[in-house]
Amino acid sequence: MTTPEIRAALPQPAASVRGPALRKLRSIALPGQLVLAVCLISGVPIPGTVLLGGKLLLLVLLGAEAHVWLRLRRHGLSRREALAQLVPEPVLRFVRHELRIMASLVRWATRRRHGVNGADAVFSHGRDQALMMYGFTFACVVETVALSYLLTDWPVVHAFFLFVDVYTVLFVLGVHAASVTRPHVLADGALRVRQAAHVDVHVPLDQIASIRRETRFTHEKKDDELNLPIGSQTSITLSLTEPVNAPKFLGAPRLVNVIRLHADDPKDLHDAVTRVAGTSPLTAGPPDALRP
């Protein structure tokens, strides 16, 4: 397939079903809730009637959203399809990412990896970032304790920043947990390349022109290349015969011809891909070649 054909085959955003009334309600309710939240955090006194009005407006908005969702369900859409029609795709992707991060903490604690059932081979890739992530987590914990002590006299502000700081600690740990529990996977004639909870790309083996073991510590940003460093390095380079779609964080399509990734044992990944691909035109570069 040519690049224009691939772009045409990519999923296109669904047409919005949000009517003008719902859009107007959102444009009033959401900024209003934000203003109330800022006032509460900053200690600005708010009349009880204003707070009550804000709560009622939020309830009306939630009711309107639920009504539209039920209407979509009655028209035969699945729960996921109805939600995709109702909520903008960037918002959905952001929420899903956060949920994957938190779910990864549970998987990490219970020693369960994601997407490895029936795999021909599994390749971990989070080892070389562990020390850095633990250090960052420790710094976040220290900052949380210090800020909590300094804000003791402002209970509303203290509660807000305590929530933000605790979530930050969980998020940092969750990013590392996602790297540990979501390894690269070789299965069903494809290499599933992942990084934390935000990158998940399926690369068919018959589209791999070459696979090379090379250690890189610097990576130039190019539109048709995907670099997935761990601990600032990549150890495997895939060159493709045809581009694959590696969506950006908020869902925008991105076609790439070269993928650089890291594995704790790059030799195992290289050998497994070469072995499973059989007659595919795979070639190995200099073992562990150091590149700038």
CA 63, CA 61: separation in Å to the nearest integer? 5
CA 94, CA 161: separation in Å to the nearest integer? 21
CA 287, CA 292: separation in Å to the nearest integer? 15
User: Which tokens go with 289?
Assistant: 């070649």
**Are 229 and 193 contacting, i.e. CB atoms less than 8 angstroms apart?**
no
Please give the DSSP secondary-structure letter assigned to residue 68.
H
pTM: 0.76
Give the pLDDT of the chain (292 residues) as one tens digit per residue: 555 555 555 544 444 455 566 677 677 767 776 776 766 665 667 777 877 877 787 788 778 778 787 888 888 888 777 777 777 778 888 889 999 999 999 999 999 999 999 899 999 999 999 999 999 999 999 999 998 888 888 888 888 889 999 999 999 999 999 999 999 999 988 999 999 999 999 999 999 999 999 999 988 888 899 999 998 899 999 999 999 999 988 888 999 999 999 999 999 999 999 888 753 444 544 444 444 4
Torsion angle defined by CA atoms of residues 243, 244, 248 and 252, in that order, rounded to the nearest 10 degrees: 80
SS3 for 237?
strand
Q: Is 270 exposed, middle or buried (0-12, 13-18, 19+ CB in 10 A)?
A: buried
